[in-house]
Structures are given as C-alpha cells and as structure tokens.
C-alpha cells in the first residue's frame, strides 16, 4: 500500500518534469523549433484547433519555421492565430505556406525570458512539493503504520522530492545558459 502511494507520487512528479520540459521548449532562444508553434490554437471552422493538426511544421533553416497547411484556405487563420498568440513572432504568408523568421534575441528580451523561465520553474517546484504533501497526507491516514515506519516513509518521500527538485534546478540552469549565451 505504501509502495503504491510512492509510485503514484513519482509518476505524477515525472509528468511535472515532462510538463516543464514542454514549457521550456516554448521559450524562444533565437533558434527555430517546431514545438514553439505547434500548440498555437487556430480558429478552424469555429473550432479551436492546434496548429500541428492543420499543417506540416518544418525547420528548413536554423532560424526559420515553415508551416505548410493541408488546406490553403486556412492560411489567413493560421497567420492571425500566430500574430495573436503572444509569442512575438511575425508570420509571412506567401500564398502557399507561412514562413516565420526567428529574430535574434536582444539583451532585454533575454532578461524577460529568464524571468519567465524562473516563474515556470518555481510553479513546477511548488507542484512537486504539493505532491509530496499529498503523499505524506495519504501515509498519515494509514493507521497500521507505527510512528517509526511513518517517519521512515516520509524521509523516503522527502529524498525523492529533493531529487526531483534537483532535476528541475538542472533543467533551469541548462535552459538559462541556452537563453543567455549569445
């Protein structure tokens, strides 16, 4: 029963790490990456649809993203969705597809991105700590555990939590280096 609580907590913590990695991909570093735009929502016949379901997203050059829609009629909608996405990207519609040139990051923009990075990192650390708290609460409900067993299990949960917090910190350092390196 205790092992199930810990395994469940670890599975949720793994999902939190995966979510952080996905958040980090969306943070621009001056290099093109299809993941930057794939989740942009496009109004497609009245339905909010992810961009990656409406066309092919490719990176022909290190600083360019090309979106080739499956239907040419959706070009204007894709262009509008990218402009209003808040990503700070300017799409160029050539009638066949959309080209997005990724601009070089300014020093000021790099500082803003580091702030966003730290905010996302802190959110995930809080999520990890909440999962720890939930697991500890579940353990305390197990009346068959002695105080010593409970202490041992909570210590194990804390060690696991510390390892996930360390993973988050490592990911943050890596991404911050990527953002700040010119």
Domains of the chain: 1-27+106-181 (1.10.132.20), 34-101 (3.30.1360.40)
Contact 90, 83 (CB under 8 A): yes
Please report where in the chains the tokens 């930057």 appear, as a residue: 36
Contact 174, 131 (CB under 8 A): no
Contact 9, 157 (CB under 8 A): yes
d(CA 78, CA 97): 10
Return the H-helix or E-strand segment holding 169.
helix 147-180
Return the H-helix or E-strand segment holding 93.
strand 91-93
pLDDT per position in the chain (182 positions), as tens?
Answer: 788 999 999 999 999 999 998 888 777 677 788 888 888 899 988 899 999 899 999 999 888 999 999 999 899 999 999 888 877 788 999 989 999 988 787 888 788 888 889 999 999 999 999 999 999 999 888 878 888 988 999 999 999 999 999 999 999 999 998 888 75
pTM for the predicted model, two decimal places: 0.70
Structure tokens at 135: 């697991």
CB atoms within 10 A of CB 26: 16
| SS3 at position 50 | strand
């Amino acid at each position: 029963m205790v092992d199930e609580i810990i395994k469940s907590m670890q599975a949720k913590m793994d999902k939190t790490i995966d979510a952080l990695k996905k958040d980090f991909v969306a943070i621009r570093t001056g290099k093109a990456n299809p993941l930057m735009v794939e989740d942009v929502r496009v109004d497609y016949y009245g339905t909010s649809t992810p961009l990656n379901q409406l066309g092919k997203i490719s990176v022909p050059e290190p600083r360019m993203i090309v979106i080739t829609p499956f239907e040419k009629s959706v070009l204007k909608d894709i262009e509008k969705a990218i402009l209003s996405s808040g990503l700070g990207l300017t799409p160029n519609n050539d009638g066949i597809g959309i080209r997005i040139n990724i601009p070089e990051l300014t020093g000021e923009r790099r500082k803003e991105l580091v702030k966003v990075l730290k905010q996302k990192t802190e959110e995930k650390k809080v999520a990890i700590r909440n999962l720890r708290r939930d697991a500890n609460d579940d353990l305390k409900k197990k009346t068959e555990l002695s105080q010593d067993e409970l202490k041992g299990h909570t210590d194990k949960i804390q060690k696991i939590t510390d390892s996930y917090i360390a993973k988050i910190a490592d990911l943050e350092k890596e991404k911050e280096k990527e953002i700040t390196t010119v």
